[in-house]
């Protein structure tokens, strides 16, 4: 399978007054087309820097980010983003919020077509009938669903998810995990998910990448070959429990709490 | 549907206040030259009705023009400061210093600089006293925009201008209108400062000044009430604009 994203030997440091502050060190990640990559690692290990590098909002000091066989040198229209904070625009309805990326990427697309596309996605995530509500009228989980629709509306090559489920309660989070699988089944996409939740990474990821402590490097990669949509019961499989134990240990190594 | 409660309650409050005032003056037995009572105001207003309309209009248009200039200048200044950290660092102390100067002391200065340009001076003062809150609120609104808002559009290759028009500007509107409500009352102060202090003035401030020289307390109080009425009208005009342009923020507030 062709790799949609290839991160090759990426090293990056922020310039601060007290000298360079290294965040990434020789990071390597490869994500095949239509697969889901979950990235876990200790707090502050540079995961968000990684998302900005892939989105073309920043450039690494060393190494290369390849997207669809092209070197990433600037932002591109083929990326969708969703964050822990859904950042919906309060002055727009849910439908108009979801349309926003199309206004940038496809300004000439007829309005009706834009709206049809947005409605189709909203229906997929269970937000039918909420098109004309304001973001403040929705619950946190619903807002995050709308935010996912906005990330997907322009059919990006890759969606970058920076802890989108982090601020939700446990039940809503499980609902959204299932929604992710349903979305992928209906409309395959490639995704990179930053998360702190190992169960989330195992349930959603086709591969789980463990980053080391700062400066982050690729410490461990776990492949999970289990085509979706996955049932929620998977979380209680002995296999999953074993995977979680392995990942937990890798995180502890990354945190420097146990010897490798 | 008109919510009568919303209109009747404030009117009732005004009536109660006037009654209390009237009662206070009556109980204390204050004569006219010490403290006017509300019942003196209407005759005073009627006697000088022509002047009230003429001067009221002058005060109003000067205030509105000054406020309009303050909105344009304050917004531009706020944009420059909000979008550039360097400009913010450079201009903030200057702005605070300028704002700290008591504007009453500036009146003679501009009266000397632009002798006889009474309309211009008045508008200038209304502007100078009211642009500060607008500039500060726009600057803060723009500089505190969460980076995620920017990233959503920037990651699609949107230009800085697009991010500004689609996100930063509308997101700043509630702060802007909050500041505009403060600026409205400030602009009135500016207009009246010039009208009262400079000789041969016009406007309600001038009417107040001439009433004062003649110790015509009822007229002085009638002018104050007229100013209050103008202030209320202009304030609610801003509220109406806010509802049109940033109604989403008003609606989410409850």
Q: How far is A148 from chain B (nearest CA, A)?
A: 12
Same domain, A130 and A48: no
Contact with chain A for residue B162, Cβ under 8 A: yes
Residues B111 and B236 in one domain: yes
- Look at residues A156, A187, A212 and tell me which one is the last residue of a structural domain: A156
Enumerate the residues of chain A whose CB falls inside 8 A of the CB of residue B174. Answer: none
Residues B93 and B160 reside in one and the same domain: yes
Q: Which of B153, B249, B252 sits opposite A104 (nearest CB)?
A: B153
In a domain, B195, yes or no: yes
B87 versus A3: the higher-pLDDT residue is B87
pTM: 0.80
Name the residue range of residue B17's domain. 1-26
Q: Do both B103 and B165 map to the same domain?
A: yes
**Within-domain flag for B33:** no
Residue with more model confidence, B74 or A78: B74
Residues B225, B102 share a domain? yes
Q: Do B73 and B170 sit in the same domain of this protein? A: yes
| Each residue's pLDDT tens digit, B214-230 | 888 889 999 999 999 99
Strand ranges (E), A106-217 = 158-162, 190-194, 207-211
CATH code of residue B202: 1.10.3720.10
Query: What residues in B contact A136, CB-CB < 8 Å?
Result: 252
Q: For chain B, report the end-to-end CA distance as a whole number of angstroms.
A: 19
Q: How many domains does chain A have?
A: 2
Residue B2 lies in a domain: yes
Q: Are B151 and A74 within 8 A, CB to CB?
A: no
Q: Are residues B18 and B113 in the same domain?
A: no
Residues of B in contact with A100 (CB under 8 A): 152-153, 166
pLDDT tens profile A105-129: 888 999 999 999 999 999 988 899 9
Q: Could you tell me if A174 and A228 lie in one domain?
A: yes
Question: Between the CA of residue A137 and those of A134, A144, A199, A236, B148, what are the distances in Å?
Answer: 5, 13, 30, 35, 21
Confidence label for B1 from pLDDT (cuts 50, 70 and 90): low
**Residue A253 and residue A130 in one domain:** no
Q: Are residues B121 and B223 in the same domain?
A: yes
Q: Which of A56, A85, A90 sits opposite B248 (nearest CB)?
A: A90
Q: Give burial (CB, 10 Å; 0-12/13-18/19+) of A127.
A: buried
Query: Considering only A248-252, B42-46, B55-59, B198-202, which range has the smallest mean pLDDT?
Result: B198-202
Q: Examine the domain organization and report whether A175 and A207 are in the same domain.
A: yes
Answer yes or no: do B18 and B81 share one domain.
Answer: no
Measured between CA atoms, how close is A13 to chain B, in angstroms?
20
In a domain, B37, yes or no: no
**With contacts defined as CB-CB under 8 Å, which chain A residues touch B251?**
134
Element (H, E) at A171: helix A170-186
Q: Please indicate, yes or no, whether residues A6 and A54 belong to a single structural domain of this protein.
A: yes
pLDDT above 50: residue B157? yes
Task: Please give the full DSSP string across chain B, using - where no structure is assigned.
Answer: ---HHHHHHHHHHHHHHHHHHHHHHHHHT--TTT---HHHHHHHHHHTHHHHHHHHHHHHHHHHHHHHHHHHHHHHHHHHHHH-HHHHHHHHHHHHHHHHS-HHHHHHHHHHHTTT-HHHHHHHHHHHHHHHHHHHHHHHHHHT--HHHHHHHHTTT--HHHHIIIIIHHHHHHHHHHHHHHHHHHHHHHHHHHHHHSTT--HHHHHHHHHHHTT-HHHHHHHHHHHHHHHHHHHHHHHHHHHHHHHHHHHHH-
Beta carbons of B249 and A136 less than 8 Å apart:
no
Domain assignment present for residue B171? The answer is yes
Q: List CB contacts of A242: < 8 A, sequence separation 6 or more.
A: none
Residue B41: inside a domain, yes or no?
no
State which residue of chain B sits closest to A85, comparing Cα positions: B148
Number of domains in chain B: 2
A52 in contact with chain B, both atoms CB, cutoff 8 A: yes
Residues A121 and A250 in one domain: no
Q: In this structure, are A32 and A99 located in the same domain?
A: no
Q: Residue B167 and residue A83: Cβ atoms within 8 Å?
A: no
Shared-domain flag, residues A12 and A126: no
Same domain, A118 and A140: yes
Note whether A91 contacts B151, CB cutoff 8 Å. no
Domain of residue A234 covers 1-78+158-260
What gap in Å lies between CA A211 and CA A10, rounded to an integer?
13
User: At A227, is the pLDDT very low, low, confident or very high (cuts 50, 70, 90)?
Assistant: confident
For chain A, what percent of residues have pLDDT higher than 90? Answer: 49
* B152: nearest CA partner in chain A: A81
Contact at CB, B156 and A90, closer than 8 angstroms: no
Residue B35 lies in a domain: no
Same domain, A171 and A259: yes
Same domain, A34 and A106: no
pLDDT at A252 over 80: yes
CATH number of the domain encompassing residue A202: 3.40.50.300
CB contact under 8 A, B154 and A75: yes
d(CA B87, CA A20): 26
Q: What is the pLDDT of residues A2-26, one digit of tens each?
A: 788 889 889 998 888 888 888 888 8
Residues A170 and A243 in one domain: yes
Domain assignment present for B32: no
A–B CB contacts, 8 A cutoff, strictly below = 63
Quick: pLDDT tens for A140-180.
889 999 999 999 999 998 999 999 998 888 888 998 999 99
């Amino acid at each position: 399978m062709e790799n949609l994203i290839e991160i090759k030997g990426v090293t990056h440091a922020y310039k601060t007054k007290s000298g360079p502050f290294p965040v990434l060190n020789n990071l390597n990640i490869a994500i095949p087309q239509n697969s889901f990559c979950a990235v876990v690692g200790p707090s502050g290990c540079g995961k968000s820097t990684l998302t900005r590098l892939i989105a073309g909002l920043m450039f690494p000091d060393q190494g290369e980010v390849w997207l669809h066989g092209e070197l990433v040198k600037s932002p591109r229209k083929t990326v969708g983003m969703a964050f822990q904070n859904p950042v919906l625009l309060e002055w727009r309805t849910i439908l108009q919020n979801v349309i926003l990326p199309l206004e940038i990427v496809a300004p000439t697309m007829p309005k009706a077509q834009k709206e049809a596309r947005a409605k189709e996605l909203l229906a997929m995530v269970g937000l039918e009938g909420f098109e004309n509500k304001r973001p403040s009228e929705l619950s946190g989980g619903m807002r995050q669903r709308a935010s996912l629709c906005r990330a997907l509306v322009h059919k990006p090559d890759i969606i970058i998810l920076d802890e989108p489920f982090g601020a939700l309660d446990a039940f809503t989070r499980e609902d959204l995990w299932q929604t992710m699988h349903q979305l992928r089944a209906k409309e395959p996409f490639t995704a990179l998910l930053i998360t702190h939740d190992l169960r989330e990474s195992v349930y959603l990821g086709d591969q789980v990448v463990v980053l080391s402590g700062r400066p982050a490097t690729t410490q461990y990669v776990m492949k999970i070959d289990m085509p979706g949509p996955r049932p929620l019961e998977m979380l209680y499989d002995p296999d999953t429990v074993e995977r979680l134990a392995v990942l937990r240990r890798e995180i502890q190594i990354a945190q420097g709490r146990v010897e490798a | 549907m008109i919510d009568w409660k919303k209109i009747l309650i404030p009117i009732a409050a005004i009536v109660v206040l006037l009654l209390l005032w009237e009662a206070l003056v009556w109980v204390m037995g204050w004569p006219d030259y010490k403290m006017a009572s509300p019942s003196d105001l209407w005759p005073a207003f009627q006697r000088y009705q022509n002047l009230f309309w003429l001067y009221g209009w002058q005060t109003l248009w000067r205030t509105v023009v000054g406020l309009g200039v303050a909105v344009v200048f304050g917004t531009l200044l706020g944009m420059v400061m909000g979008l550039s950290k360097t400009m913010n660092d450079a201009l903030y102390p200057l702005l605070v210093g300028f704002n700290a100067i008591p504007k009453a002391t500036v009146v003679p200065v501009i009266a000397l600089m632009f002798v006889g340009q009474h309309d211009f001076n008045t508008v200038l003062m209304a502007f100078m006293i009211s642009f500060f809150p607008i500039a500060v609120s726009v600057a803060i609104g723009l500089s505190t925009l969460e980076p995620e808002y920017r990233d959503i559009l920037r990651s699609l290759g949107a230009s800085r201008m697009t991010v500004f028009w689609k996100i930063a500007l509308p997101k700043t509107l509630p702060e802007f209108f909050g500041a505009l409500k403060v600026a409205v009352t400030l602009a009135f102060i500016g207009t009246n400062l010039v009208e009262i202090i400079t000789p041969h003035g016009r406007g309600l401030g001038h009417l107040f000044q001439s009433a004062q020289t003649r110790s015509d307390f009822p007229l002085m109080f009638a002018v104050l009430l007229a100013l209050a009425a103008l202030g209320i009208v202009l304030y609610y005009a801003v509220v109406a604009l806010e509802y049109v342009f940033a109604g989403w923020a008003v609606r989410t507030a409850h």
